[in-house]
Amino acid sequence: MQRFLLLFLLLLPAAALASGWEPYANPRFGFAVEIPPGFAMVQEADNGDGRTYARGAATLAVWGHYLAEGDFKDEVAGRRETYRREGWDISYDRETNGWASLSGTRGNTIFYHRVIRLCDDSVSSFVLEFPKASKPEYSPIVSKLVKTLRPAEGCSSAQGAAPAAQ
């Protein structure tokens, strides 16, 4: 009985985190992601690139776009430079051939940016910004967002898509 109770208590946060997530699929760029509970859509791009969501002081933007010039590495380098110019202190920066993650702070705000390669020289991203004080609440949300951002079916890694999220 005690083992069952312990197992139940350990799995409760994971089960609570799993409930209420809503799927979002972008047909224009062929990617999908799960939107966390409590986030309401505040804007959808007219051209179908993506959406912006909000929950209190937190914002979540998800979108796709074509690589205009250069390759995936150039895209990530450009994003990195933009964050630095905007005054963000980047504290986490990891990149592979199929995905990249950047995270940092500016004032009392944390950002986490994940970008993945898709088919046809396109990429998909999400950026989650939230107050530093909410980091314990948002860390598991970031982890699940990373795991759920994925290319659509039929886009294999041989075509340039990202491997499964790390």
Predicted TM-score (pTM) above 0.75: yes
Asked, for residue 164, whether it belongs to a domain, the answer is no
Q: What is the pLDDT of residue 3?
A: 37
Asked, for residue 86, whether it belongs to a domain, the answer is yes
Asked, for residue 75, whether it belongs to a domain, the answer is yes
Q: What is the pLDDT of residue 68?
A: 79
How would you write the pLDDT of the chain (166 residues) with one tens digit per residue? 333 333 333 343 444 445 799 999 999 999 999 999 999 999 999 998 999 999 999 999 999 999 977 799 999 999 999 999 999 999 999 999 999 999 999 999 999 999 999 988 899 999 999 999 999 999 999 999 999 999 987 675 434 444 444 3
Cβ-contact 94, 79 below 8 angstroms: no
Q: What is the pLDDT of residue 61?
A: 98
Which has the closest alpha carbon to 124: 37, 74, 39, 49?
A: 49
Asked, for residue 165, whether it belongs to a domain, the answer is no
Q: What is the pLDDT of residue 49?
A: 94
Asked, for residue 147, whether it belongs to a domain, the answer is yes
Asked, for residue 18, whether it belongs to a domain, the answer is yes
Asked, for residue 52, whether it belongs to a domain, the answer is yes
Centroid of chain to Cα 142 = 7
The range of the structural domain enclosing residue 121 comes to: 2-159
CATH of the domain at 16: 3.40.1000.10
Strands 109-117 and 99-106: antiparallel
How many domains, the chain? 1
Q: What is the pLDDT of residue 18?
A: 53
Asked, for residue 166, whether it belongs to a domain, the answer is no
Alpha carbons 83 and 75: distance in angstroms, whole number: 13
Token readout for 147 is 């795991």
The residues facing 128 across adjacent strands are 60, 112
